[in-house]
Chains A and B, each alone.
Chain A
């Protein structure tokens, strides 16, 4: 194993690089094309380089209500994120012991994950319309998105608790901690980095969710719905400009989350053990 790598390494590494090009190539392409000159079209060649299409984006009358929809998507993303974290942690704690009906609940989580999104959209939409309620992104849209983010949050929590060393908890209990104290001072700090992961899933999956929000957002669109609307009637690079901006925003969000995990990990490694620094 030491020193020289086998030939297969280079073949696979080349394959991996190609995969990355496949993964990111199109996104990079539209990022370049969003700087098209005012005369340019949806494909190459570039007819000059300009910020024309970004400027177009900021003139509200040109293309729908982009900024309103962005604000709504952002708010909804935060709502879904917080709810996903809280509900997933509680659910993860619940599932550490079997309880009556836990098997059924588990299969519901899996169903929630694999059910075609359009069914949620249609079903929730029908319930609201038949009961005379108005669909709104913050009520029906919010609930519909949770059926997509919660399964991911829970699967992460299951994975975390499967690897959780119970002896920490037992130690706390032996020292006289109440169940709530054990969770607050022992369990939550240990699982904190994975909670950031859950939050990342909660926010980004909500921010980009389309199918489950389609019939449940009501008259005020979220950003993906706005973009979807643009795909049918906008034929200028303005849509690439929007795509580039929202992708950059996603990258920023992902970066912030990953950085937080990294900083938490560093700090934990530096502080290390607190043995001998007891409270007594």
Chain B
């Protein structure tokens, strides 16, 4: 028996070893490296090993840091609300109103295909729509809703959040749809038979049972938005900042230790958020 137990562990590790090696080299080691470098010092063109807290002192001493973190949370929260409402509605339609499996699969694929195309292109493609002379403005003017083109459509918080919602809603649709498909349909019939209205069934049966999917989707959306730097840079026209941009600006200036310190704080923040979300769901059970 002892022997058998041992071989189970060995077999497990043999099979998992390529995975473990990749994660050790390209995930664990880089994180360790970032933590180490966050204590280093930097001159204008080079970095040198040290053990000092200057980077953190500067980071926490600067009012910019707090406003940027606040902005990051703001983007995450607003995007979360929109992706959740849209994603839930879409998944609900697919799971409970489309009855043929073929149609369900086809429409579901239609929702997921953009995920496999380029994010940058999808970002760029909003420009002809939102620009000063873009489709949105010219349509609104021709309808007589506005006289002057709206300036806040592009290169603003609005366009940043719109793009986030556009890019990441499918991260909500997929896990929520997945959980909904596993809800026993007889539970819903039972609710109706007992006289529940459609709305009561939704709030008392479907939403509680869909919670794990909602949580997984939320983890995706929140972490993707919090870690983003390119969408904010591009869609705000470099006018807004989030933590990711703070890091990428430091990188552009070759201030790696300072970038590393910000990255450590960002990572800790993201992990805390996930730890909170994970309290509501056991991911391994939900796959």
Residues of A participating in the B interface, judged by any CB pair closer than 8 Å: 1, 5-6, 8-9, 12-13, 15-16, 19-20, 22-27, 29-30, 33, 42-44, 86-88, 90-91, 93-95, 97-102, 105-106, 108-112, 114-120, 122-124, 126-127, 130, 143-144, 146-147, 150, 154-155, 158-159, 162, 200-201, 204-205, 207-208, 210-211, 215, 224, 227-228, 231, 239-240, 243, 246-247, 250-251, 253-254, 258
Contact = CB atoms under 8 A, between A and B. Distances in A.
B107 interface: yes
A30 B33 CA distance: 41
Contact of B125 (A26, A108, A251, A253): A26
B28 interface: yes
B33 A126 contact: yes
Interface residues of B, number: 84
Contacts of B266: 116, 119
B181 interface: no
B50 interface: no
A44 B134 CA distance: 7
Contacts of A20: 110-111
Contact of B20 (A88, A105, A211): A105
By Cβ-Cβ distance, the 9 closest A-B pairs, closest first, are A123-B30, A116-B227, A99-B12, A94-B15, A26-B125, A204-B116, A94-B16, A143-B26, A243-B121
A153 B18 CA distance: 14
Interface of B: 8-9, 11-16, 18-20, 22-23, 25-31, 33-34, 37, 86, 89-90, 92-94, 97, 99, 107, 109-111, 113-114, 116-122, 124-129, 131, 133-135, 138, 166, 169-170, 198, 219-220, 223, 226-230, 234, 244, 247-248, 251, 256, 259-260, 263, 266-267, 270-271, 274, 283-284, 287
Contacts of A122: 30, 34, 247, 251, 256, 259-260, 263
A208 B119 CA distance: 7
Given A44-B135, A120-B30, A105 B230 contact: no
Contacts of A118: 227, 229, 244, 247-248, 251, 263
17 contacts: A5-B97, A13-B97, A15-B90, A24-B114, A26-B166, A27-B114, A98-B12, A115-B223, A118-B263, A126-B33, A126-B256, A127-B30, A143-B25, A208-B118, A224-B120, A250-B117, A254-B116
